[in-house]
Amino acid sequence: MSTLFDPTQAGDIRLANRIAMAPLTRNRAPGAVPNALMAEYYRQRASAGLLITEATAISPQGQGYADVPGLYSTEQLDGWKKVTAAVHQAGGKIVTQLWHVGRISHIALQPGNAPPVAPSALRANAKTVLIKDGVPTFTPTSEPRALDVGELPGIVLDYRHAARYAIASGFDGVEIHAANGYLLDQFLKTGANQRQDDYGGSVRNRARLLLEVVRAIVDEIGGGRTGIRLSPVTPANDIVDDNPQQLFDYLLHHLAPLGLAYIHVIEGATGGARTLPDRPFDYASLKAIYRKAGGQGAWMVNNGYDKALAEAAVAAGADIVAFGRPYIANPDLVERLRRDAPLNPPDRDTFYGGGAQGYTDYPTLTG
């Protein structure tokens, strides 16, 4: 029987264990450029089987939070090269999470102070992070404008270019962020998508943009280096769908033939309850549909896992378990889980923004 600490494969990526570090936005990239402090942060956590970077914008328009990194300029690529080199030198594997926030943004973060873009002109009851006088400040998102259908091929191209730049920067692959109420998830779900064209209405139409993005990235870098993150029922960022089971069953059936490295599924509410009585969902059925349709990618589960839950998930057939917040305060989380050692408590005041404090200064078991 497989254990949490056994090696596994995610497409073309060989992992030393079945533990992944989930994406964690930390707002430590002034000017959207990765830096030496970030390289040290990821290097410290390289014992994870797979590191997934914080969400990384594919374009200036895709930015939605202050001091988060991008992957569209030469300076950004040079910064990421230092991160990937540090992780690889420490023996780790790392992919970057490709992100377009859609309506979860603010005019202060958009080129020319333009409105954020979205499938429909529906403002989200959500907040983003601005840095004011050096202090991270949660601020309501701005009113978005609806994307014209003629703009969508350009967004697909931005994703494709970002994937190319990721490989050029030394990443082992990419994860497409299609979860948590950001742009691709907004197109998927009825609560944010009220379009009347080929990208709205039916399940097939609402899934169209995401599938175009995935196919473009697979064409660019190969399915074996491409993962995707999904959150069928999370309410994060004011997102909801009328029939998520139907939607995601359709989506996984059509993702299956694309040869993806892994499917990363957030179970329940992101960072919250694992089950939602008002939003029931059958994850086992979803996985079965993916496998029946020929999907071979590793199945990654996420949300509120501790060691006992993770071991049970692997025993039940999960290939990888992603841990999020425990990695903030425990760079050596793999070894702590292996030894059943206590975990460092995180300093919540330093989650977003700042410097080394609460970022790279947490102690390890070896000092």
Marked catalytic residue, from 42, 65, 165, 182: 182
E strands within 233-360? 262-266, 298-302, 320-323
User: Is 182 known to be catalytic?
Assistant: yes
Q: Which of 44, 43, 41, 50 is nearest to 22 (CA)?
A: 50
The owner of tokens 């374009």 is: 59
- Per-residue pLDDT at 151 exceeds 80: yes
Residue 366 pLDDT class (50, 70, 90 cuts): confident
From the options 1.20.58.1880, 3.20.20.70, 1.10.150.120, 3.40.50.300, give the CATH code of 8-350. Answer: 3.20.20.70
Task: Report pLDDT digits (tens) over 227-249.
Answer: 999 999 999 999 999 999 999 99
pTM exceeds 0.75 for this model? yes
Ranges of each domain in the chain: 8-350
Q: Per-residue pLDDT tens for 162-221?
A: 999 999 999 999 999 999 999 999 999 999 999 999 999 999 999 999 999 999 999 999
Exposed e or buried b per residue across 160-189, where buried means at least 16 C-beta atoms within 10 angstroms of its C-beta: bbbbebbbebbbbbbbbbbbbbbbbbbbbb
End-to-end, the C-alpha distance of the chain in Å comes to 33
Per residue in 82-117, pLDDT (tens digit) is 999 999 999 999 999 999 999 999 999 999 999 999
